[in-house]
């Protein structure tokens, strides 16, 4: 996928689970990365360069903390989903409707976007989700109860689910 988005700021978000990195474009929050490894190349994150981004970041931080504390998210900053196809945006839209602690299967998700046979494609769409946690891609399970996979590492998916469901399985 070609993210032609222009990231104007990368700001670290400190949480009890680590240092996430929020990427902002002119339109809003464009991407969120899990702590460590992957984006260890965070070349000196541009500091907050405008009041608007500062405001968005405040919302992002709050939302992330709430999500990681198993609380309902009060507000989200505008999301810049420019990089997604229509199909992917539909999938992400459905994901955002999944309430705290609830899970869904890839196939049901496929049904909800009008393509009951596209469970596999749904998996790809989830993987393309630029904003994990806030767009709960971790609440999607395979129909047989398996976790499937997760971009940020299966350990995260498990951790998040355990956190939300109290006890997984």
Partner DNA sequence: CATCCAGTATATA
Partner DNA sequence: TATATACTGGATG
Give the separation between CA 103 and CA 120, rounded to whole angstroms: 17
Residues 138-167, mask of contacts with DNA (x by CB under 7 A)? x-xxxxx-x-xxxx----------------
Radius of gyration of the chain (CA): 16
Give the separation between CA 118 and CA 108, rounded to whole angstroms: 10
Q: Count the alpha carbons within 13 Å of 101 in the hemisphere toward its beta carbon.
A: 8
Q: Which of 137, 140, 141, 160 is catalytic?
A: 137
| 93 part of the interface to DNA, by CB under 7 A | no
The answer to whether residue 126 is catalytic is no
Give the separation between CA 117 and CA 148, rounded to whole angstroms: 17
| 103 part of the interface to DNA, by CB under 7 A | no
Residues 114-133, mask of contacts with DNA (x by CB under 7 A)? -x-xxxxxxxxxxxxx--x-
Binding region for DNA (CB under 7 A) = 1-2, 85-88, 105-107, 115, 117-129, 132, 137-138, 140-144, 146, 148-151
Catalytic residues: 137
């Amino acid at each position: 996928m070609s993210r032609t988005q222009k990231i104007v700021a990368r700001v670290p978000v400190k949480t009890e689970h680590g240092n996430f990195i929020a990427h902002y474009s002119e339109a809003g929050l464009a991407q969120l990365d899990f702590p460590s490894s992957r984006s260890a190349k965070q070349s000196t994150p541009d500091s907050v360069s405008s009041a608007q981004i500062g405001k968005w970041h405040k919302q992002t931080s709050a939302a992330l903390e709430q999500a990681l504390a198993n609380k309902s998210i009060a507000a989200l900053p505008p999301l810049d989903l420019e990089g997604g196809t229509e199909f992917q945006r539909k999938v992400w839209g459905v994901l955002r409707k999944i309430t705290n602690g609830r899970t869904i299967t890839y196939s049901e998700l496929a049904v909800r976007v009008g393509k009951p046979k596209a469970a596999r494609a749904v998996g790809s769409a989830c993987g393309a989700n630029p904003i994990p946690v806030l767009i709960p891609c971790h609440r999607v399970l395979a129909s047989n109860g398996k976790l499937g996979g997760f971009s940020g590492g299966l350990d995260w998916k498990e951790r998040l689910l355990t956190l939300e469901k109290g006890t997984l399985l």
